[in-house]
Amino acid sequence: MSRNNTRNSQNSRTSFRGLQILIEDLRQKRDDLNLKTKDFIIELQEIETEINSSLKSAKEKYKKKRDYWNNKVKALKDKKIEYKTLLDNLFEEKKSIQKKGNNSERPISIKQVDRKISNLERIIETENLDIAEENAIVDKIKILAESKHQFLANQQNSDFFKIERKIEIVKINLNKIYEQLNKWSNKSQENHAKMLEIFNKVDELREQKRKREEELIENKKAADSYHEQYLQVMNQRKKISKDKKPYNPSKKAHVKSRRFNNRNEMIEKIKQNKLAEAIEKQKAGKKLNLFEARLILERAGR
């Protein structure tokens, strides 16, 4: 009888030590995963901060500048339309004046007048003329020069030349508008490209965040599994333990518990958001990844 008691006592101690080793192992694995969970949460917070900072930069810096140059381009395009309409009207007015001019007295040729004057001057220089002949030629030159100046003066004040000057001015202004449009459009495109570059970076960060959230949930599941095993083994140890004193958790344990509860609530919120996204993708007929499919299956199995 004494031998049986001794053997039972030894078995009890062996069983107790085995449970104690298993408890420490499960606790260590659980705590390691909980630390990893903490690291995941910190990383997610950093990613979220970077996303918000990037979006703020894109909106306040590049989008505002792009919109500013777009508005200037729009206003200048309206001005360009005004000038093009004005130019078309001037061309029509020029055609009308040209038609009237065809029915009026034919204007003299400036080149012909200049050629006649040049020939007369050459005669004076090369031929042996008496005073009367030379004076007669000089009078002809004066008449031709006066007719030329009068013609040019009349032309400068004519409707045709006025229209020509207006057309030249409008063309110059249109060229300036095209140059300015090109510069302002380039500035708008530069800021738009920088804004898109930030948006692409944000998309990459969101994808990184999505993967980390999935890893966080999987890590939390593993930690919870070890914790459940830990509690089960603790109950087994309690049954064979000689110490029947009730376990009273310390205040520190309560604080730690609250911290874990807050963390669990955050993870559960992420999980529910992921589930909602997966359901929407399923409704839209989009392909689910393995994680999303597992979430939906878990929901259906509840």
* Domains parsed from the chain with CATH numbers: 15-242 (1.10.287.2610), 250-302 (no CATH)
* Mean pLDDT score, 176-180: 95
- Identify the burial level of 248 via C-beta atoms within 10 angstroms of its C-beta, where 0-12 means exposed, 13-18 middle and 19 or more buried: exposed
* Mean pLDDT score, 270-291: 74
In this predicted structure, what is the pLDDT of residue 6? 44
Backbone dihedral angles phi then psi of residue 91, each to the nearest 5 degrees: -65, -40
Displacement of CA 189 from its chain's centroid (Å): 10
For residue range 238-267, what is the model confidence (pLDDT) as tens digits?
Answer: 877 654 444 444 555 444 556 656 667 767
In this predicted structure, what is the pLDDT of residue 302? 58
Token pair 């110059």 is found at 172
In this predicted structure, what is the pLDDT of residue 187? 95
In this predicted structure, what is the pLDDT of residue 65? 93
> Beta-carbon neighbour count of residue 117 at 10 Å?
17
In this predicted structure, what is the pLDDT of residue 124? 83
Residue 278 has pLDDT above 70, yes or no: yes
For the chain, what is the mean pLDDT?
A: 80
Rounded to whole angstroms, the Cα distance separating 230 from 21 reads 11
For residue range 35-86, what is the model confidence (pLDDT) as tens digits?
Answer: 888 888 889 899 999 999 999 999 989 999 999 999 999 999 999 999 999 9
> Beta-carbon neighbour count of residue 177 at 10 Å?
18
Displacement of CA 52 from its chain's centroid (Å): 14
Residue 299 has pLDDT above 90, yes or no: no
* Mean pLDDT score, 90-96: 87
For residue range 99-140, what is the model confidence (pLDDT) as tens digits?
Answer: 775 544 445 577 888 888 888 888 888 888 888 888 888 888
* Mean pLDDT score, 166-192: 94
User: Which residue would you say has higher pLDDT here, 176 or 291?
Assistant: 176
Enter the tokens of residue 115. Answer: 């050629």
Report which of 98, 51, 84 is spatially closest to residue 205, judged by C-alpha positions.
Answer: 51
- 8 A C-beta contact, residue 37 and residue 138: no
* Highest-confidence segment of 5-14, 96-105, 216-225, 234-243: 216-225
The 3-state DSSP class for residue 301 equals: coil
In this predicted structure, what is the pLDDT of residue 66? 94
Residue 282 has pLDDT above 50, yes or no: yes
User: Which residue would you say has higher pLDDT here, 14 or 292?
Assistant: 292
In this predicted structure, what is the pLDDT of residue 154? 65
In this predicted structure, what is the pLDDT of residue 127? 84
User: Which residue would you say has higher pLDDT here, 11 or 232?
Assistant: 232
